Copies of this chain bind each other. A is one copy, B any other.
Amino acid sequence: MKRVGKTIVFDSPPYVLSSAGIVGKKEGEGPLGLFFDKIINDGYFGEKTWEKAESRFLRTAIDEALKKASLKYHDIDVLLSGDLLNQCCASTFACVDMSIPFLGLFGACSTMAEGLVIGSVLVESGAVGKAICSASSHYCSAERQFRFPLGYGAQRAPTAQWTTTAAGAFILGYDSTQSSKICITHALIGTPCDLGIKDAANMGAAMAPSAYNSLRQFFADTNTTFGDYDIVATGDLGQVGFDMVTELFLRDGVTELANYNDCGLLIFDIDKQDVHAGGSGCGCSASVGASYIMHRLRNGDWKKAVLASTGALMSPTSAQQGSNIVGVTHIVSFEVRA
């Protein structure tokens, strides 16, 4: 592997051996419903708490991805995972019985791409044979942790987004049977960006500058632009952040923006589903990436895709102490190879 600018270029790109996205009822009713591997209508997923339910969504995504690749836990050398819960507990309790070496990540909603960046390097370098990269979020566990207990029925701001109840998992490795054609060709580690946003009901605005910075760097390093990919998807900027990124590129004279999209806008019909500015959460880009984007690449509709997962690095404590909300955006690009 080599570096061009800040971008990691894989000489022997690791393959996506399989992937799976599992979502809740509301996400299943959205425009991408048909693409998800499983839709779980019960928010508790048979568990006693939302936190345990989130672990089960994540575990189900991992199990589903393994099943599709005919792999077992013992075939996997490392599991990279993260989520929004304090101390990343959804990931811990999803994987505790799997006996797979585990690297816990915290990238807020950028975690899916963060895991894919590190996982790709681990696989291409030979440090591991096969890696699972995964992430999850749950509307109910996130709301009560970051905002208000759901029972309060607090009113949401128009700029607020709806944390997706969703999980996604990718299995990376080399495929001796050549049954997988999708590989990860490039990766970029994002740099935290703080433009002074403090409004926790406007995460799109907090993350948009980092998305713009990371994408601009990535395009410069790879000498590409939006039109060179079938989709360039940010993670969960929602309508507010999406419009900001669009405006920033337009100011640069980049007008070919037809292939730019956002997983938070793809997963919900924001006019009909009462989700205000769109979807969010680690599970948003994880499930849309692992299900919808991989499906379009796998069936030949698309040849190249960029996933730029966007994260807002903050906690209720940091917000209460007056700290800004810091954005970060990690990027991976996928390509179908014959």
Which A residues have a C-beta under 8 Å from some C-beta of B?
1-3, 6, 8, 48-49, 51-52, 77-78, 82, 84-89, 92-93, 95-97, 99-108, 114, 117-118, 121-122, 124-129, 145, 187-192, 194, 313-318, 321, 323-324, 326, 328
Q: Is A103 within 8 A of B107, CB to CB? A: yes
Within the complex, the shortest CB–CB distance from A331 to chain B, in Å, comes to: 11
Count copies of this chain in the complex.
Answer: 2
With A85-B317, A87-B86, A93-B318 known as contacts, the answer to whether A189 contacts B101 (CB < 8 A) is: yes
Instruction: Pick the residue among B2, B118, B191 that contacts A126 (CB under 8 A).
Output: B2
Q: Is B105 within 8 A of A105, CB to CB? A: yes
Contacts of A100 in B (CB 8 A): 191
Instruction: Pick the residue among B103, B313, B323, B326 that contacts A189 (CB under 8 A).
Output: B103
Contacts of A2 in B (CB 8 A): 126
Contacts of A106 in B (CB 8 A): 82, 87-88, 104-106
Complex CA gap A298/B128 in Å reads 30
Q: Is A86 within 8 A of B316, CB to CB? A: yes
Q: Is A129 within 8 A of B3, CB to CB? A: yes
With A3-B129, A107-B103, A126-B2 known as contacts, the answer to whether A89 contacts B191 (CB < 8 A) is: no
A-B contact pairs, 15 of them (CB 8 A): A3-B126, A8-B128, A49-B321, A85-B315, A86-B317, A89-B323, A97-B194, A103-B114, A103-B189, A104-B105, A104-B106, A104-B114, A104-B313, A106-B106, A118-B122
Q: Is A51 within 8 A of B103, CB to CB? A: no
Q: Is A321 within 8 A of B194, CB to CB? A: no
Complex CA gap A328/B98 in Å reads 13
Q: Is B191 within 8 A of A102, CB to CB? A: yes
Complex CA gap A239/B145 in Å reads 35
Contacts of A194 in B (CB 8 A): 96-97
Output the nearest chain B residue to A11 by Cβ-Cβ distance. B126
Contacts of A77 in B (CB 8 A): 3, 6, 189
